[in-house]
Amino acid sequence: MATIPAIAFSEIAQPRSGTLVLMAGEGGALGRFGAGLDKKAGGAVTRAIKAAKFNGKSGSALDVWAPGDLGLARIIVVGIGEPADMQEGDWLKLGGRIMTRLRAGSGDGATVVLEMPAGKEVSADMAADAALGLKLRSYGFDKYKTRKKSEDEAEGDRDGEVSKVTFALAEPAAARRAFVARDKVAGGVLLARDLVNEPANSLGPKEFTKKAQALSKLGVAVEVLTEKELKRLKMEALLAVGQGSERPPRLVVMRWNGARDKKAAPVAFVGKGVVFDTGGISIKPAGHMEDMKGDMGGAAAVTGLMQALAARKAKVNAIGVIGLVENMPDGKAQRPGDIVRSMSGQTIEVINTDAEGRMVLADALWHTQKKFKPRFMVNLATLTGAVIVALGHHRAGLFSNNDELAERLAAAGEATGEKLWRLPLGKEYDKQIDSKNADMKNAAGRHAGAITAAQFLQRFVDNVPWAHLDIAGTAMDSPANEINQSWGSGFGVRLLDRLVADHYEE
């Protein structure tokens, strides 16, 4: 796996070696420390800025190699544009861009001087956000690569390694404190990315369960329901999806009790965990079927979130439930036309065995609300290709029966950059999943496919505030950006942690 650098904070001072990163505003203007360092280097930095016509705009960067007699391998000048225009998300992106530049060259250690021109202060939260962005960008999944970079491989095929990055600013102690919780959340994001990136032959329901059980060392109580318990609870919808696989399904319940009142109603998060989805008897086309190893992105996000909440000791009671199955074509697999009875007692006619995730969630949602009586439920699922047609890869679909919960989720999405877009629910859509042979059917055709999938889920939600996030376009194979170059993004962990932190902690 790629090296995740150690992150430290210090007062502003000139490092004796390695790489130094300076910030520049519009026109390439440096701060006080940067200007002083340039003077020591005989004007090497400002000469490079002028020669390259570097304008300091946000997203720009300039390398100055072996500058003067400072003992440094190089100086990187990163543009931030107009300092007054910097928003919360811009500091996160800045950290990611810095990590990209650091890995593009040599030098094991680096110092990032967080100093804006014109005497603008860099707060502890700004510094901590930059450090978070740098850590998230440092992730890479190369666990199964055995060859090292050779001379005949194209430059840039592999990132360089950076073992430590120090952020230097006026108030390092405050930044260090602010980063502690962010660092724990980053750990949850990286866990979710690892899970999504793992191939299905290495991560079946049993192996995923072990990953969740590892959270017990953080104080998370983990309960595992095996096939025997699932049958006893009559979770026939979930079981039907997994009956064609040699690897039996699991339902895993993770519980974090961080509130002062341990009996207070919890918040609940439910994740779809189809570790591989062939489509079953309604088999998918061969093209890109390998991507279906990521069809457990919802379960990965819930597991990463539970790690983040426990690691930062969130003052909330929280439940994470993940339904883990594999959808395979086999002599024992469910067939189109089968009718199964869900845990709720409602019957489902299977029209398409590739509409399997909603059946897993049907029993998981019902079990969660009946057993734990949560304050709200949010489920996450790589549920439909239709949501990608509607929203592309830049926003996840949001469906909800509660305006307040939907608005809070949308606000958390804007704050973290894990953006959502609310789509409708309604009786006219609900009619599309009515069945002549059962209480409902599991697929309603191409029209409004993401909405009818959400309508299906809503039938397994009683009077509980609930939201469904369709993350098919954002959890896997989403566009690379400043803080993630991985196929698996870990989408949802930071979003939901922010929701909890802003509204549901004591």
**In 10 A of CB 414, how many CB atoms?**
15
List the Cα angle 94/98/99 in 5-degree steps: 120
Pick the closest to residue 374 from 466, 248, 285 (CA basis): 466
Residue type, 362: A
Contact predicate 102/158, CB 8 Å: no
Residue 107: both structure tokens together: 């030098």
**344, 350, 352, 358 alpha-carbon torsion, rounded to 10°:** 0
Distance CA 443, CA 406 (A): 25
Residue 136, CA distances (Å) to 83, 151, 295 in order: 23, 29, 22
Strand order across the beta sheet in which 19-25 lies: 6-10, 164-168, 109-113, 19-25, 74-81, 61-65
The rounded distance, in Å, linking the Cα atoms of 356 and 286 is: 18
Residue 41 DSSP code: T
Marked catalytic residue, from 247, 284, 315, 341 = 284
Q: Catalytic residue among 135, 137, 255, 358, which?
A: 358
Q: Is 417 left (phi over 0), alpha (psi -120 to 50) or beta?
A: left
222, with CB counted inside 10 A (0-12, 13-18, 19+), is middle
Catalytic residue flag (residue 358): yes
Distances (CA, A) of 292 to 145, 459, 497: 21, 26, 26
Q: Is 284 a catalytic residue?
A: yes
Q: Distance between the two ends of the chain, CA-based, in angstroms?
A: 37
Counting beta carbons within 10 angstroms of the beta carbon of residue 233, is it exposed (0 to 12), middle (13 to 18) or buried (19 or more)? middle
Q: Report, as residue numbers or ranges, the catalytic residues.
A: 284, 358
